[in-house]
């Protein structure tokens, strides 16, 4: 587990500035105004800071940008990082500025002179999220991350506002670690073992093994995993922190590796399919955050853990399998496996828990990447109310999301000659036909959102808040959705 960088929030002590090692951060605005700490840095550096904020280079910076003054005279630090935040900046700008500080940190000790800056806790969150490196498999380890000190004029206030930062970062990092893990390490069994550890935080965890899944009739899920040496599993994580009788449900696609099965994928780029458990990884991350912040909510997370391999036992194109619901599916393409896994887990979630609402997350289709790229996830829903609330939460957290349509008109594409449906709907509208497939396994009266996160779960170039690799997209938005709608109010 990658731990968030240790951080403390202390009362501003300008006499600590001269001797601080590593990196020191000061803030200024569009007028180049310096606060008390900035004035001290300026005096120590014999006017260098004032010259910088009066320069054209500073004038050309945008709000949220940062620049380094290297090896400043009169200070022990390697660099003073000057962050420009124009007057009346919002929480999003503060968080982004924090991420810029985190990105530049590169292992050094860090002193952030926030003084009475607004949204200082958002700066800390942004920086904490950005200081992440997946180093489980690096044998020549670099030095541990130097600690972060944020100095403010009202430490109690900022400490209270920042109370959830560790819980948020732990959930996001748990999700990233799982998604970044290679598939020979994160097998279905290892994944389940990682989830069982959530018991230490008070989450009830249940692991359903293949014989139990067989007994429940989860044939579409089992069919996907039957070519793998790793056993298929469904893991349930229940956080009972609130008074609601029925839980809110999160469902995740957890294909630990997707070769495509007998409908084998091309070799080039196949290694990226280690992230095909991204939906399950986000569900795990949200559960961890909820438990770590003792959320007053009743939430159950369910993940379907399978591996999609070609093998003598693997399912074939043309096979017909019966879902737990009872509907039959003609498997035209064994690479459209995520929907087969989710069909059974979605149905089981509703049968067992009668949830007040349900969100599924899946790296489901390449088509969503064609449509939306890597900046926004596809959002499909049968309920405008919960959908609007989710889009609002995602926007507030800076996690890109775009509303996509569901429409019975697309069902035509899923019609099978010999079974109730096919598992693929042809070349056009691939993400929508996948969502239409899932909707067949959702009761009409259950408010439901399907999030296609194929483009956002893992990225080749870093985002504002994550280096390249797994992003943890969705942990913050879902945590906020739950806080807004499903949590007991104090």
Cβ closest to Zn ion, residue 258 vs residue 307: 258
- Rule CB under 5 A: say whether 452 interacts with Zn ion: no
Catalytic pick among 39, 43, 154, 265 = 265
452 binds Mn ion (CB under 5 A): no
Please report, as ranges, the residues that interact with ligand BES according to CB under 6 A: 258, 276, 333, 335-338, 363-367, 424, 430, 454
The single residue of 95, 293, 339, 440 carrying the catalytic annotation is 339
Nearest CB to ligand BES, comparing residues 247 and 472: 472
By the rule CB under 5 A, 258 interacts with Zn ion: yes
Options 36-44, 68-76, 202-210, 328-336: segment touching Mn ion (CB under 5 A): 328-336
Nearer to Zn ion among residue 112 and residue 277 (C-beta)? 277
Yes or no: say if 171 and 471 are a contact pair by the CB < 8 Å rule: no
Q: Tell me how far, at minimum, the Cβ of 82 lies from ligand BES, in Å.
A: 39
Tell the smallest beta-carbon distance from residue 177 to ligand BES (Å). Answer: 18
Instruction: Please confirm, yes or no, whether 265 is among the known catalytic residues.
Output: yes
Minimal CB distance residue for Zn ion? 258
Q: List the single partner that 366 binds among ligand BES, Zn ion, Mn ion, none, CB under 5 to 8 Å by kind.
A: ligand BES
The DSSP bridge pattern shows strands 204-208 and 233-240 to be antiparallel
Closest residue to ligand BES, judged by C-beta, is: 366
Binder of Zn ion out of 50, 177, 276, 360 (CB under 5 A): 276
Q: From CA 25, how far away is CA 61, in angstroms rounded?
A: 16
Q: How far apart are CA 148 and CA 9, in angstroms?
A: 9
At a CB cut-off of 8 Å and minimum separation 6, what does 66 contact? 25, 81, 82, 83, 84, 97, 100, 101, 104
Smallest separation (angstroms) from Mn ion to the CB of 258: 4
335 binds Mn ion, rule: CB under 5 A: yes
Closest CA to 2 of 178, 186, 191, 200: 178
Rounded CA-CA distance 37/113 in Å is 6
Residue among 150, 144, 143 nearest 127 (CA): 150
Q: For residue 178, what are the contacts with CB-CB under 8 A and spacing of at least 6?
A: 186, 191, 194, 277, 280, 281, 284, 285, 470
Q: Between β-strands 248-258 and 298-308, what pairing exists: parallel, antiparallel or unpaired?
A: parallel
Told to judge if 51 belongs to the known catalytic residues of this protein, a careful annotator would answer no
Contact with Mn ion (CB under 5 A) among 50, 122, 145, 258: 258
With CB under 5 A as the contact rule, which of the stretches 259-267, 332-340, 420-428, 454-462 interacts with Zn ion? 332-340
**Angstrom distance (rounded) from CA 108 to CA 303:** 38
User: 11 in helix, strand or coil?
Assistant: strand
Total residues in contact with Zn ion, by rule CB under 5 A:
4
Q: What b-and-e string marks burial along 7-33, b requiring 16 or more CB atoms within 10 Å of the CB?
A: bebeebebebbeebebbbbbbbbbebe
* Catalytic annotation, residues: 265, 339
Q: Could you list the residues that contact Mn ion (CB under 5 A)?
A: 258, 335, 337
């Amino acid at each position: 587990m990658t731990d968030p960088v240790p951080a403390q929030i202390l009362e501003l002590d300008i006499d600590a500035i001269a001797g601080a090692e590593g990196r020191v951060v000061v803030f200024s605005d569009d007028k180049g105004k310096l606060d008390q700490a900035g004035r001290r840095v300026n005096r120590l550096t014999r006017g260098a800071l004032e010259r910088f904020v009066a320069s054209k280079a500073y004038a050309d910076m945008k709000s949220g940008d940062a620049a380094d003054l290297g090896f400043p005279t009169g200070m022990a630090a390697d660099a003073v990082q000057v962050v420009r935040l124009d007057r009346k900046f919002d929480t999003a700008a503060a968080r982004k500025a924090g991420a810029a500080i985190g990105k530049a940190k590169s292992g050094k000790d860090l002193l952030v002179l926030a003084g009475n800056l607004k949204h200082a806790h958002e700066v800390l969150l942004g920086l904490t999220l950005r200081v992440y490196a997946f180093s489980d498999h690096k044998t020549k380890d670099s030095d541990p991350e130097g600690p972060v000190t944020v100095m403010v004029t009202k430490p109690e206030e900022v400490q209270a506002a920042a109370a959830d930062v560790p819980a948020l970062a732990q959930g996001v990092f748990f999700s990233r670690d799982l998604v970044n893990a290679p598939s020979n390490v994160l097998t279905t069994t290892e994944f389940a073992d990682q989830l069982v550890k959530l018991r230490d935080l008070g989450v009830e965890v249940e692991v359903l093994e293949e014989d139990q899944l067989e007994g429940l009739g989860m044939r579409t899920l089992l069919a996907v995993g039957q070519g793998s040496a790793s056993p298929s599993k469904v893991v349930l994580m229940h956080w009972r922190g609130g008074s609601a009788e029925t839980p809110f449900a999160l469902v995740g696609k957890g294909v630990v590796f997707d070769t495509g099965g007998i409908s084998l994928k091309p070799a080039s780029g196949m290694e990226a399919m280690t992230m095909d458990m991204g939906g399950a990884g986000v569900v795990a991350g949200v559960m961890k955050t909820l438990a770590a912040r003792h959320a007053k909510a009743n939430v159950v997370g369910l993940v379907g853990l399978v591996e999609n391999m070609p093998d003598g036992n693997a399912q074939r194109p043309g096979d017909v399998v019966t879902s737990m619901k009872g509907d039959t599916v003609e498997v035209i393409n064994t690479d459209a496996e995520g929907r087969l896994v989710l069909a059974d887990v979605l149905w089981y979630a509703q049968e067992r828990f009668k949830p007040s609402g349900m969100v599924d997350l899946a790296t489901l289709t390449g088509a969503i990447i064609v449509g939306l790229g890597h900046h926004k996830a596809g959002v499909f829903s049968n309920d405008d109310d919960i959908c609007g609330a989710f889009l609002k939460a995602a926007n507030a957290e800076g996690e890109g999301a775009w509303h996509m349509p569901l429409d019975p008109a697309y069902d035509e594409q899923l019609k099978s000659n010999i079974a109730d449906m096919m598992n693929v709907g042809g070349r056009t509208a691939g993400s929508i036909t996948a969502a239409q497939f899932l909707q067949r396994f959702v009761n009409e009266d259950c408010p439901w959102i399907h999030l296609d996160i194929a483009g956002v779960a893992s990225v080749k170039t870093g985002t504002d808040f994550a280096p390249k690799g797994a992003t943890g997209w969705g942990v913050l938005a879902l945590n906020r959705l739950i806080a807004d709608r499903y949590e007991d109010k104090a």
